[in-house]
Amino acid sequence: MKEETKAAIKKYAICFVIEALIAFLVIWSKGFFTQSAAVNIQILSDAFFVSGILTTLFGCLMFVSKEGALIGISFVLRNVVLTFIPMGRARHERYADYRERKLNEAKDRSIRYILVPGLIFLFIGIILTVIWDQKFYNV
């Protein structure tokens, strides 16, 4: 197996484990094993939806950051910090150079490994919500 494939599988597995951990914490906090079937489906849909939406929104934030929307903010914060460091202004660079460097660094990163598992968990949460709505809502 290629090194790139192994690295991609590892990234997907890490994201899946983090999402499963978030889902487990939601399930555990709501007392899954002490409830009825209707409430258990509701808890499962909440758990999958919460973990899916958190990672999907995090992936969207990474996409926005990768496109350069937050570069100006990071440039200003970096310069503020460098102001208070002795001889920090000696490392000052122009905004155009900083932006070009950051965009070149960001183009190499992929966010697919965050979005795909997040959307899968989100989809499972929506399906469980629809099942709960059809089977148990008017009971």
Q: Indicate whether 10 pLDDT > 90.
A: yes
Write down the mean pLDDT value for the chain: 88
Q: Domain residue spans in the chain?
A: 3-132
What are the tens digits of pLDDT across the range 31-66? 888 888 888 899 999 999 999 999 999 999 988 888
> Please, are residues 95 and 75 in contact by the beta-carbon 8 Å criterion?
yes
Q: Indicate whether 115 pLDDT > 70.
A: yes
Closest by CA to 20, choosing from 132, 126, 121, is 121
Structure tokens at 37: 């079937």
Q: What's this model's pTM, rounded to 2 decimal places?
A: 0.78
H or E element in which residue 37 lies? helix 37-66
> Please, are residues 57 and 49 in contact by the beta-carbon 8 Å criterion?
no
